[in-house]
Structure 1
Amino acid sequence: MKNVVIYSSKTGNTKKVAEAIAQSLDYELINIDDVRDFDDYEKIIFGFWVDKGFMDTKTKKKAENIKNKTLGIFFTSGVEPNSEHAKECLEKSKEYFTILGNNVTHLFCCQGAIDPEVIEIMKNMAIKMGDKAVHKITDERRARWKKAETHPDKEDLKNAILAFSNF
């Protein structure tokens, strides 16, 4: 049985983290779109990008076939890794894969640059909703977006490698 890092990446953030982890462990690296069957793998480290608090629909459809494996999970998101949103995503991910019969042993959140399309959608929603907007475009929010542009950085990749070093 082989060990593998499987990832889904929209902007390249998750791929970058997956490559660092796979290289450090000398594991096979596969894009989720190229996976046919999960049965050949004993241990899987699974990475995805966060879309509205969880995996995007296409990735989730494939991920529901990961069953009865020793599993590590990581994701990239535009939020700070210690934020409440990140913690909720970690819990939701662990619960999702545990229900499928997996033994989830490792979890990691990595901040990533936010997709420019998402920023434009948020700006347009804020304009459209006015004072009723949930995500108002403030100077603080713009500063967070700017900071997120630098991630994942070398320190993030180092932390990802450490998070899975004993997997």
Structure 2
Amino acid sequence: MRIVKEQVNTRTAEYVSESQAAAMLQLAVGTLRNLRTVKSNGKPIPHIKQGGKVFYKRDDVIAYKDKPKARLEHEYPRIPVLFNDNPLTVSDPSTKLTTAEAALAYGISKASLQIWRSKRQFLCVLPFISKGHEVHYLAGDLATFVLEGRSYWKARSLELGINFQPHPRSGRAA
């Protein structure tokens, strides 16, 4: 077995590092560790430890990604701003907003934005720009996120016959 950067290659299988596996699954590394150690989610993802690092077979990671989830993962969070019809503030779509400005302008809590970034959640529907320690959101991306999130929750409510509401623990009302 030889280690090349963060990959372990053998004749029979290709291994990826813990950070690579987390990125493939769009999970935080800590969440992946929980999946490795906690058996409440069924069978944990097989792994090997080598030199103090943890590696996963690429095929096992892909299989886990394709495995049906016991809990339904939604494309959008259950936050108050996605469950009301309040008009959005109109601004130039190319305007860059800090986390605090985005939270204030679009009714999304600053903590939620920070948590989603750290856990790498909702990246496909709410991208951000990161340069060093600076994080910015484009006003157009935020507006699209809110409008499409509202459509998503209305459609899910009709499709499943469930009147979805904001998550009880979601911060402030918008």
Shorter-normalised TM-score: what interval?
A: under 0.3
Q: Which has the larger radius of gyration?
A: 2
TM-score, normalised relative to structure 2: 0.25
TM-score, normalised relative to structure 1: 0.26
Higher strand share: 1
